[in-house]
Amino acid sequence: MTREEDAKEKEDYSLEVIRDLEAMRAHRTEWNEMASKQADSFPFLGFDWFSTWIENFLQDEELWVVLLYEKGILVCIAPFLKRRQKMFKLSIQKFELIGNVYSPFRNFLFRENDFERRKAHVGAVLGWMAECGGSWDVMDLAAVPEERDCFAVIPEAVKERRLQFVGHVAYGDWYVDDIDCSGDEFIQGLPKKIRRDVSYCLRRLQKEFAVEFKVVKDSHLVHEYMSVYYDVYAKSWQKTETVGPHFHRDFAEVAARQGWLRLGFLFAGDKSIAAQFWISSNGTSYILKTVYDLAYRKYSPGKVLTAEMVKYAIDVDRVSLIDYVQGDEPYKKDWTPKRRERKGITIFGRSLKGRTLDVLIRKVRPAVNENAFLRRTKESAKRLVGSAEWEA
């Protein structure tokens, strides 16, 4: 960036940093207006998603929500957290986009969808963070969607700011789009093994139990049926949620008020043996959680319920896209055969620790991984000091 461009940017842009949830609430309307520009991502970029997440998960981290204004108009929101952690045994300060394992993806919010405008706005935020954003060593922008060039604008903006960075893939996202058939026709198009298993297991269930499929989406039923969901969860393979244990209950209430919630249940008699947490919005169904009672594993209740939920999504909600949101578990490919990625970029600050980590991660670690002797030495060191402290 030239001196003239830098001067113009400082003239055109101004920034505000929000450090608490109450101050965020004053921007709720503008926040949702900007989230709606990315309509297919709205449930997970809207204000209610972030406020629910913050209420459930924010602990020792600091809230750093950066609002970028261009000539007085809010054009970009960078929802950051600042945390302290260990990386290569160094105590560092790190910025990251708000989110965790429960977040399908993370991203900036923009007023405009034009690539160059988004790049300019990300660049303005990063430039300010590099110069005035306090002391930090690493910025981790993880799990950004690759579609609509959401991720691509970030490394382009970073390059223009002459910051050092390294990219990575966070995880895969399996989905199916352009659905233009009935639910039954969709099921008939699935792999033969899936069709056979669903049909056979449903018949077995119907011979032994009174089988009922139920979708819950009304606010007044959320409390009751989230308790049913958690009962199935406790009998599944899933581990007890010790961090943010009430998050999904709280978000279910938000989603029900917005008309997004689709809690699916498969009952055998009066007992729920499978449960799924779906969100439906703007022609897309998002599959957030799937669980079943392990005592009924032989009936494949998860597959049976998934088939019913898919038919409901297509025939009732009229969606054209079904999205498993995150993870590369093999079974997802059977239902949703397309894959896209959520990508990340680690940006190194200009502090001494930031420059040190830049060398370690971008230069030293690749050299170690390419050398057999050094790889063995690294593995021995990890066993001695602990892999969590050794790895970034």
Residues 25 and 142 in one domain: yes
Residues 217 and 365 in one domain: no
Structure tokens that stand for 330 in this block? 């093999």
Q: Which regions of the chain are under pLDDT 50?
A: 381, 383-385, 387-392
Residues 188 and 314 in one domain: yes
* 275 inside domain: yes
* 329 inside domain: no
Encoded amino acid at 138, one letter = V
Residues 168 and 185 in one domain: no
Q: CA 144, CA 285: separation in Å to the nearest integer? A: 19
Residues 314 and 193 in one domain: yes
Residues 84 and 111 in one domain: yes
At residue 392, the pLDDT reads 43
Residues 299 and 196 in one domain: yes
Residues 242 and 112 in one domain: no
* 379 inside domain: yes
* 102 inside domain: yes
At residue 88, the pLDDT reads 84
Structure tokens that stand for 273 in this block? 């043996």
Q: What is the CATH number of the domain that holds 207?
A: 3.40.630.30
Structure tokens that stand for 11 in this block? 């003239």
Residues 297 and 167 in one domain: no
* 328 inside domain: no
DSSP 163-217: -EEEEEEEEEEEEE----S-HHHHHHTS-HHHHHHHHHHHHHHHHHS-EEEEEE-
Residues 190 and 88 in one domain: no
Structure tokens that stand for 103 in this block? 């977040």
Render the burial of 309-332: b for 16+ CB within 10 Å, e for the rest: bbbbbbeebebebbbbbbeeeeeb
Structure tokens that stand for 328 in this block? 């590369």
At residue 155, the pLDDT reads 96
Q: How many domains does the chain have?
A: 2
Mention every residue, 6+ apart, whose C-beta is less than 8 A from residue 189: 181
At residue 290, the pLDDT reads 96
At residue 4, the pLDDT reads 57
Structure tokens that stand for 67 in this block? 């609002």
Residues 97 and 184 in one domain: no
Span 131-172, pLDDT tens digits: 877 789 999 999 999 999 999 999 999 999 999 999 999 999
Distances (CA, A) of 233 to 33, 230, 248, 299: 35, 5, 12, 17
Span 28-48, pLDDT tens digits: 999 999 999 887 788 999 999
Residues 196 and 233 in one domain: yes
* 203 inside domain: yes
Q: CA 189, CA 99: separation in Å to the nearest integer? A: 35
Q: Note the helical H segments in the chain.
A: 3-12, 21-25, 28-35, 47-57, 115-132, 153-160, 183-188, 192-208, 219-234, 247-258, 301-315, 331-335, 352-359, 365-370, 372-385, 387-390
* 60 inside domain: yes
The parent domain of residue 27 ranges over: 3-175+341-390
Cβ atoms of 216 and 252 closer than 8 Å: no
* 325 inside domain: no
